[in-house]
A and B are shown apart, each in its own frame.
Chain A
Amino acid sequence: MADPMRIRAQAAGGNATVRVLMAHEMETGQRKDAAGKVIPAWHISDVTATHNGKTVLTAEWGPAVAKNPFLQFTVKGAKAGDKIAVSWKDNKGDSRTDEATVS
């Protein structure tokens, strides 16, 4: 199971800005190891964000998103106490979901 994401959701002006830091190697598949063998691509491929259970954002990512990916988006009409959940799936079948409360 991967390391937890850090999710910060702050309400301001009737919306909530959500900042997520995910823990993932995001290996491009371009690098070679010391023996000269290509290190296979290993990266988050799908991301989903929900607000109080309703999907508000989905995304598809390639390997060029930076290691330990950062993502920021703004949920309309979110207020303090609402729940924001972010999930990701990677190309090896691993996945992770973390939740935060809007403050």
Chain B
Amino acid sequence: MMPTRRKTLQHGAIVAGLLATTGLFPQFAHAFNAKAFEAKNLADVLKALGAGAPVESKDVVITGPDIAENGAVVPLGASSTLPGVKQLLVLVEKNPSALIAMFNITDSIDSNILTRAKMGQSSDVYAVAVMNDGKVLFAKKEVKVTLGGCGG
């Protein structure tokens, strides 16, 4: 016998309620870092992460094109040759939210990450290394974005 629509909807609501209490839905899983991903600039990102004041350093490298023809796909790399890197962050200053991605570096990998980001406009981009000892080091470079027409 087919269950009535009412029974089906009631059952669905009960199941949804149960699922919500399991904590399986990740939108709440890193509320701790949600603020970091809403922050508008480097200083606010670091404050949200509880990290110290950043210092520019030649031992951190941000790689990226000088001119990005397509702002939807800009290859950006963050790396550091220093030992003791805890996290590498990639930021695009002029994006609606500055923090693109945060990588937790373990001893098993090189502190060298490459990914691709969306950039809304020409902007400084940052690679930030948060060290195990609490120091925060960064490098920045300007990436120009040509959203349409010929480059240059």
Contacts and interface: CB of A to CB of B under 8 A. Distances in A.
Contact of B112 (A46, A59, A70, A73): A73
Q: Which 9 A-B pairs have the closest CB atoms?
A: A66-B116, A56-B108, A72-B114, A62-B37, A74-B110, A59-B103, A58-B104, A66-B73, A60-B102
Interface string B14-36: 00000000001111011001000
Contact of B26 (A65, A69, A91): A91
Interface residues of B, number: 36
Interface stretch (B3-11, B90-98, B127-135, B144-152): B90-98
Interface of B: 24-27, 29-30, 33, 37, 72-75, 92, 95-97, 99-110, 112-119
Contacts of B114: 70-73
5 contacts: A45-B30, A60-B101, A70-B116, A72-B114, A90-B26
Given A45-B26, A66-B117, A15 B33 contact: no
Contacts of B73: 66-67
